[in-house]
Amino acid sequence: MEVAVVYAGTFDPVTYGHIDLIKRGRKIFDKLILAVAESNHKGTLFTVEERVEILKEVVKDMPGVEVEQFSGLLVDYMRNRGVRVALRGLRAISDFEHEFQIALTNRKLDKEIETIFMMPKEEYSYISSSILKEVVRLGGDVKEFVPPFVQKKLEKKLR
């Protein structure tokens, strides 16, 4: 029986921290589905189509990893896909309270959904997409935090 996990987010843009969790999550699960949120309260730099395209490029050589966009409640998306496990990343203590509330709410909405938390490698634990966007806006170099083609896309959008 194939065991799948959904790693959902805006991925605006995808960072090496995300990629670390994708690779490590894939070692644990038979299939990892990257569920790209169409919209959320944050607003996004890239359209959902651009974020899906970028993620597909990132994972093109990773068997067992799929990329899809979704809207609405994550638990509804997971139920429709027949997946019971959600993967969530925790970079710092500050992420925990928010992620904890989401995990408990999801469990209340669907008692079959389990949430697994993973931390990225230490060198990626402080990276956030919002900080990277600000660094690029201000002319900084983000090559240590994102793949080269993501850096180019960021620079094209922000400079």
Catalytic annotation on 42? yes
What strand order describes the sheet that includes 65-70?
A: 65-70, 31-37, 4-9, 85-89, 114-118
pLDDT in the model for residue 159: 79
Determine phi and psi for 152, rounding to 5 degrees: -60, -40
For residues 101-125, give the mean pLDDT.
Answer: 95
Q: How many CA atoms, within 13 angstroms, populate the side-chain half-sphere of residue 30?
A: 5
Of residues 42, 98, 108, 121, which has the active-site annotation? 42
Q: What is the CA radius of gyration of the chain?
A: 15
Burial class (CB in 10 A: 0-12, 13-18, 19+), 139: exposed
Mean pLDDT, all residues of the chain: 94
Give domain limits for the chain.
4-123
**Cis, bond preceding 13 (omega within 30 deg of 0):** yes
Of 18, 26, 133, 153, catalytic: 18
Q: Which of 51, 129, 133, 153 is catalytic?
A: 129
- pLDDT tens digit sequence for 28-77: 999 999 999 997 666 899 999 999 999 999 999 999 999 999 999 999 99
- Backbone phi, psi, residue 26, to 5°: -65, -30
Catalytic residue among 91, 107, 137, 157: 91
Q: What pLDDT is attached to residue 88?
A: 97
Examine the residue annotation and report whether 18 is marked as an active-site residue of this protein: yes
Has residue 94 got a pLDDT over 90? no
What's the pLDDT at 137? 94
Res 95 pLDDT > 90: no
pLDDT reported for residue 42: 65
Residue 50 and residue 56: Cα distance in Å, rounded? 10
- pLDDT of 146 strictly over 80: yes
Q: What class is the 4-123 domain?
A: alpha beta
For 35-46, give one letter per residue: b (16+ CB within 10 A) or e.
bbbbeeeeebbb
